Structure 1
Amino acid sequence: MSELSTLPIEPLSATMTSEEVVAATKQFNYGTWRYQKSWNPLHVVDAEGCYFTDAAGRRYLDFSSQLMCVNLGHKNPAVIRAIQEQAATLPYVMPGYATTTRAGLSKLLLEVLPAGLEKFFFTTSGTEANEAAFKIARMYTGKTKIIARYRSYHGSTMASIGATGDPRRWPLEPGAKGQGFLFAPEVNCYKCPIKHTYPGCNTACADYLEHMIENESDVAAVVVEPVVGTNGVLIPPPEYFPRLREICDRRGVLLIADEVMSGWGRTGEWFAVDHWGKDSGGIKPDMLVTAKGITSAYVPLGVCATTAKIAAYFDDHYFAHGHTYEAHPMTLAPAVAAIHEMQRLDLVARSRAMGSYLGEKLHALKARHPSIGEVRGLGLFWAVELVKDHGSKAPLNSMQDKIDGKVAVVEKVAAEMMKRGVTIQAWISHFVIAPPLIIEKEEIDFAVDALDQSLGIADEYVASLG
């Protein structure tokens, strides 16, 4: 054992007060997607199960798994042990070497990913995994353009933000828009962007996407979130993905599934694409990108998975991508443990069962609150959308309000929920509800009750509009 391991380590809590921690964080760090002057971060000191605790000792039910990622809950012992053992064995080696952990995770991924995805590039985030997918698509096809959709989010690095359809891209233009991305309408049957009504529309949004491919010279790929995440948990109708797969095959275009948020049991299947096309053998994307829940976010890991056909191309063609932390052993070991824990606890089936219970509770809220326009979800992945009125379906706030620094109504509701011991992700005019997959019914009851009581703020705002 190294002599260093026997040296005492003085905890930072012994040298800094909670007030000093918050002040230092605000002074030296950036708060993301916000005006800095309004940032007042909560000092979090502990977390376990479905809860985390602040410096004052107050515990909060984590109703959105932080950023929809702590799928196993906090402090899963098996994942923590895997991190410790890997650190003691081989904390780092460059990606040009083989490691037992790398081989083990790769074989394990074959058990849970959609069939046909057989070769993997490991990254340290979802945005990097998308960057890899875009580069691979362009190298493999020799084409440059990639079609994404509005109301999408694919990451914050330059190409990934360029592929992002929502207005988080706007401050980075024109550079972001010069990345070769085009945007198709999102699939939103509650408020269709092209003014159609399902099912009579015959999935016109898919037809529109094919029209784009037909009228562009060199489309390499289409990238979609099978269930849109931050932008509202938008779930496509059953016909959409089989139709999209058929269009891509017929047009010679790759299909990339961005499952950074919707993977790892979140929707009640291992991956969201597994919900569709079961009668015909399932939907098989050419590439699948994922992150977040693969380690329950204990360490940062992303994956870009490709088919064997794509992989074979690079046997005789230069693979022009890589970085220092690709296949980092410290990121891979906890992924192995997390997948085994999901299998042991049967969390995919549990997500379906508990998601059905959660859905019933949320739909009951909709009947009581005039501010709720729609409730939608799969598994333990739900959105509650707030509107000014049910006729126009106009949202309570817009992305422009966010950019202008206005406090959204959903943020006021979320702040009230926090006073009641529940945290929830609020975005523009909806909530993203994605609790840890280990959540119990009693905890769902507690969180939904807090939402129920806090929605009075939104109801009063709607009433004030006349």
Structure 2
Amino acid sequence: MSPTETVPDLMHGMTTEEICDITRKHNYGTWRYQKAWKPIQMVDAQDSHIIDGNGKRYLDFSSQLMCMNLGHKNAAVIESIAAQARELPYAMPGYATATRAELSKLLLEVLPSALTKFFFATSGTEANEAAFKIARMYTGKSKIIARYRSYHGSTTGSIAATGDPRRWAMEPGGKGPGIIFSPEVNCYRCPIKHTYPQCGIACADYLEHMIRNESDVAAVIVEPIVGTNGVLVPPDEYFPTLRKICDDNNVLMIVDEVMTGWGRTGKWFAVDHWGIQPDILVTAKGITSAYVPLGLTATTQKIADFFVDHFFAHGHTYEAHPMTLAPAVATIHEMQRLNLVDRAAELGPYIEAKLQDLKLRHPSIGDIRGKGLFWALDLVKNRDTKEPFNTYADKVAGIPSLVDQIAGKMMADGVTCQAWVSHFVIAPPLIITKEEIDLGIAVLDKHLHLADEKCSRGLPSGLTSITSNS
């Protein structure tokens, strides 16, 4: 370091305690009771690790909010942001820019092939709002069918289409006109009490029944693999069946790939596993590896052609903001250079085997679900009844969940993992190594005894649970 260079003051003249205290007092903690919020200070990150204000390193076992697919501090993405700021930090949506054109060309390479027209937003929830507007304008119809056990965002339209309890605080007004809910695809806890495969995909049949008994249905919105609400993977028959139902009834299919896109499941997009083409695809998070906020709403050319002679009634100041588009270009190039989509597919069986081994030794694990590097570990009081330790009602009431307690123990041991109601979402950066996967699983293994001790049904004969005391 030369005499004129200085080390950046990452603390801005404050202690980590002061930073956390000011944050807690003057900022809102999201989706929580404020009295329970105790944020830690994050000061740095690299690859698959984050570092707090005390210098402690944590393995990021859920890519923070299932969004940092490239990992932390990818040099090419960081440089793309700096270069765009030097070249052109802002252009209003009515202007063309080279970055906008370059990203559009790249999207044609990686998105499902039917999607050829793009609207850029600054978040997944805004991208879903655009999808709803486009569907309603294009079809001339108003109703959107969403599913329970879903999350589509926090703005008015997107929270109205969200099936989980985060919607409840906004009701009745927040539910929004024209949103109705169908059963989710959940073969572990089927909401309509059917058993796969004998059911013949009854949840899809039920959705078709709704369409035929409702007037004015414009679109169905689904997460191809449900995200925060349990990483629910549909049977292989589900999406071809749903595509036919939508086609037969002149209803658009919107797929919300905010969390499942960008290599997360071992394909560029989760719908690629089933070879279907959506009418509208929405994504965000991994599109820039979360380095800069960006959302995307992509439509078919058929929908695009409609607006040649019909008014497109949507837009905002930051649409196609060049500072958001440049890192998306760099992210796609980096994913291609590092072959991360194939890497996620290759590591999928490795992490699945590790999780299934945990299930053999921990009676509290009811189910393991996922694809690629996107998995859920579902905790239950009893494997026969599948009763969870906590419910949505507990979450809304502010009752601490068992998974949160275990996640806290894991964090103390240097691994961060997202917990929600009664399951963990395991979704590490796509650059994670097998050794780091082993570390994350070992720390989870160590603390699952907290759940095992509360189970009403033990392990099969001859198996022994590994606990922190073993």
TM range (shorter): over 0.9
For 1:48, the equivalent position in structure 2 comes to 46
Retained in 1: the 8 A contact 2:156–2:176?
no
| Structure 1 residue 14: Cα displacement | 3.9
Query: Which of 137, 158, 162 is matched with 1:164 structurally?
Result: 162
1:317-396 equivalences in 2 (<5 Å)? 317-396=310-389
The answer for unaligned runs of 5 or more in structure 2 is: 459-470
For 2:56, the equivalent position in structure 1 comes to 58
Q: Tell me how far apart the structure 2 counterparts of residues 207 and 335 of structure 1 sit (CA, whole Å).
A: 38
Aligned length: 455
For 1:410, the equivalent position in structure 2 comes to 403
1:156-305 equivalences in 2 (<5 Å)? 156-276=154-274, 282-305=275-298
For 2:121, the equivalent position in structure 1 comes to 123
| Structure 1 residue 11: Cα displacement | 3.5
For 1:3, the equivalent position in structure 2 comes to none
| Structure 1 residue 223: Cα displacement | 0.2
- State the Cα deviation string for residues 344-384 of structure 1 (Å, max 9, x = none): 11101100111110010000000000110000110000000
Q: Tell me how far apart the structure 2 counterparts of residues 110 and 394 of structure 1 sit (CA, whole Å).
A: 45
For 1:425, the equivalent position in structure 2 comes to 418
Detail structure 1 runs of 4+ shifted over 6 Å in the superposition.
Answer: 6-10
Report the aligned-residue RMSD.
1.5
| Structure 1 residue 172: Cα displacement | 0.4
Retained in 1: the 8 A contact 2:147–2:183?
yes
AA aligned to 1:324 is T
| Structure 1 residue 54: Cα displacement | 0.3
Q: Structure 1 residues 372, 52: closer, same or farther in 2, change over 3 A?
A: same
| Structure 1 residue 16: Cα displacement | 1.3
Query: What SS does structure 2 have at the residue aligned with 1:84?
Result: helix
Q: Tell me how far apart the structure 2 counterparts of residues 57 and 364 of structure 1 sit (CA, whole Å).
A: 33
- State the Cα deviation string for residues 257-288 of structure 1 (Å, max 9, x = none): 00000000000000000001xxxxx2000000
Q: Tell me how far apart the structure 1 counterparts of residues 109 and 424 of structure 2 sit (CA, whole Å).
A: 33
For 1:77, the equivalent position in structure 2 comes to 75
Query: Which of 428, 433, 446 is matched with 2:439 structurally?
Result: 446
TM-score by length of 1: 0.96
Query: What SS does structure 2 have at the residue aligned with 1:179?
Result: coil
Retained in 2: the 8 A contact 1:159–1:179?
no
Q: Structure 1 residues 265, 12: closer, same or farther in 2, change over 3 A?
A: closer
| Structure 1 residue 464: Cα displacement | 10
| Structure 1 residue 462: Cα displacement | 2.0
How many percent identity over aligned positions?
69
Query: What SS does structure 1 have at the residue aligned with 2:341?
Result: helix
Q: Tell me how far apart the structure 1 counterparts of residues 174 and 234 of structure 2 sit (CA, whole Å).
A: 27
The answer for unaligned runs of 5 or more in structure 1 is: 1-5, 277-281
AA aligned to 1:63 is F
Retained in 1: the 8 A contact 2:382–2:456?
no
Q: Tell me how far apart the structure 2 counterparts of residues 320 and 336 of structure 1 sit (CA, whole Å).
A: 27
AA aligned to 1:397 is N
For 1:316, the equivalent position in structure 2 comes to 309
Q: Structure 1 residues 28, 21: closer, same or farther in 2, change over 3 A?
A: same
Does 2:19 correspond to 1:21? yes
Retained in 2: the 8 A contact 1:64–1:434?
yes
AA aligned to 2:433 is E
| Structure 1 residue 142: Cα displacement | 0.4
Query: What SS does structure 2 have at the residue aligned with 1:226?
Result: coil
Query: Which of 119, 134, 151 is matched with 1:136 structurally?
Result: 134
TM-score by length of 2: 0.95
- State the Cα deviation string for residues 171-210 of structure 1 (Å, max 9, x = none): 0001122331110000001111000000000000000000
